[in-house]
Amino acid sequence: MQGKIIKQISNDYTVLINNQEIVCKARGKFRKLGITPLVGDDVLIDIDNHYILEILPRKNSLIRPAIANVTQAIIVTSVEVPEYSSNLLDKLITIIEFNNIKPVLYFSKLDLISDKKKYQEIMDYYRSIGYQVFDNYQDVKSVIKDNVTVLTGQSGAGKSTLLNHIDSSLNIKTDEVSYALGRGKHTTRHTEFLNVLDGLIADTPGFSALDFNELTVSDIRDNFIEFENYKEYCKYQDCMHNDEEDCYVKQMVKEKKILKSRYENYLNFINKNK
């Protein structure tokens, strides 16, 4: 029978079939093939013996957090405790774009800072290049319905808190950020889909590091979406917007049409990925 994996705890996979939850194990063949079932996978199961037999083709997937077949990713970005990281935000956006998932940005903890002008300008920039950007949970509710959503972002950014605000009945455990480490404790221990506001939404373990193992430098460039508006004006057709002369993207950075931190993060990413 066909169902969807909605939860994973260790080697136990909860599969939803006709509103019934069945806890299954994965067949040994997956391990031999180097394949790991993911929350969100559509699967065929042996309903009598509770084994996952086949994983159906995925529309998309992410490694960290490990999840498949989502329509959007809400990137929860803290502006304070833990400190705002434009590098991590742009890294997440690039990886999510590359995986054909729609990024949605949520800036959290603005109530902890007195000068919001800096972050208002940052949020306005990301809106100007086409992203949905929110800074309060009430507005986030508008994008949940009919979507399969994953929340992602660094530990302590407020993913579980956001879910509790969206649906207080969830009562997901949260914890304080470690001031010594500057990051949150991992209060979410497993990945699980929850029914929220007529959509599916996943709370996932947080993380503080990512890499671009699957991406080439061209992939990174092509997923900085604002570059697409200017690349035709560059001298070279395959311009990497780095050392080339007459690069229109670099000119747009100088004219503040492209956010300086975005461009600096881009250079950091491609130089580390060469």
Transcribe 97-109 into DSSP letters.
HHTT-EEEEEEE-
pLDDT tens for 107-126 read 999 999 988 899 999 999 99
| CATH of region 61-203 | 3.40.50.300
- Domain covering 217-272, topology: Ribonucleotide Reductase Protein R1; domain 1 (1.10.40)
pLDDT of residue 56: 97
152 pLDDT band (50/70/90 cuts)? confident
For domain 2-55, the question of CATH label 3.30.930.10 is answered with no
274 pLDDT band (50/70/90 cuts)? confident
Q: pLDDT at residue 7 above 70? A: yes
Retrieve residue 57's tokens.
Answer: 């083709």
pLDDT of residue 185: 47
pLDDT tens for 64-78 read 778 899 999 999 999
Q: Domains of the chain: which residue ranges? A: 2-55, 61-203, 217-272
pLDDT tens for 186-226 read 445 678 888 899 999 986 665 445 678 889 999 999 999 99
How far apart are the C-alpha atoms of 57 and 81, rounded to whole Å? Answer: 39
pLDDT of residue 189: 62
Q: Is the sign of the CA dihedral 44, 49, 39, 169 positive or negative?
A: positive
